[in-house]
Amino acid sequence: MELEFTDRKILNALQTNFPISIRPFLEIANYIGISEQEVINRILELKENKIIRQISAIFDSHNIGYKSTLAAFKVSDDMTDFVANIINSHNGVSHNYLRNNEYNIWFTITLPSEQKLEDEIETLSIQSNALDYLILPTLRLFKIGVNFDMTGGETSSFKFFSHDDFKNDSDIKITDFEKACIRELQKDIEIKPEPFEDLSTNLGITQEKLLDTIKDFISDKKMRRFACVLYHQKAGFSYNAMGIWKSPQEEVEKNGKIMSSLKEVSHCYLRPVYPRKWEYNIFTMVHSKSKEEACIVMNKISLLTGIKDFDTLESTKEFKKVRVKYYV
């Protein structure tokens, strides 16, 4: 689908500056210079054409009492689909991909804080007869935040999430009312003039109370933002690459900040190493319009950091990609 410039401006607004108000689409319409109904009609068409995946709250799992990790399984090539189905059956698994590495199945798993990630992953490895596996939790988050510039020229107030936004475990407290709000706000909103109306009705509160709660969630770092999530391939960003880097330990902080400064890098993490088995410690995600563009970004990172020992893991098959559902 060839997107009109107006559609692109709407997509930028939905990703970066979604108004926390009773009539957010009217505010977007006033910003762009079209009618509220045209904004609604265009969003409905973008959803129908699989450009917009969902418009909802994007919570920080750690700050609302959950924990997550990246994991990688090494399985024989003829077993990948079988193993992927076993992994996908776990409700805590949100993303699962086949990648071009000896550790060929990569997935993320998110669980309530009282459950043990290690136990769940070990169980999955036994069920799938994995040859080996890696558990790669985030030791330091340098950057997370997918934001696709659809117009190529707008300045953005988009703020990425980083390690400084993480709460101490002892400071994480979620009330029953907040859990109820989280259950509603993680739903895809209805595209109508007052999209928060149904959510507030379900909660038995006013829209104003719900909007104040959203603002409190954002201020308290429980929610990263309220925004749309795109089907990035359909939106024109058809290629993504996981960069894995061997950074000297004493240069991790410097290199992480350099990598995070590039707009093409949406995620940047420090993860543990396993001596003589897995020694890549910094991970990046690059989203681009082509493999060639991604290679340029990877080489730029190498040049800026001086890291020569790195690799690019391509996603060759998507087994699962869903939003994590909290407190259900």
- The two beta strands, 66-74 and 105-112, are antiparallel
Look up residue 145 and give its DSSP letter. -
Closest to 218 (Cα-Cα) out of 63, 24, 54, 68: 63
8 A C-beta contact, residue 53 and residue 229: yes
Q: Which residues are catalytic?
A: 95
CA pseudo-torsion sign 85, 87, 92, 97: negative
Round to whole Å and give the CA distance between 109 and 121. 9
Q: Encoding tokens for residue 137?
A: 């939790």
Query: ∠82-83-88 over CA atoms, to 5°?
Result: 100
CA pseudo-torsion sign 172, 142, 13, 61: negative
Look up residue 135 and give its DSSP letter. E
Phi, psi of 202 (to 5 degrees): -60, -35
Residue 43: count of CB within 10 angstroms of its CB: 22
| Residues listed for the chain | 328
Look up residue 161 and give its DSSP letter. B
8 A C-beta contact, residue 266 and residue 286: yes
CA pseudo-torsion sign 191, 197, 201, 202: positive
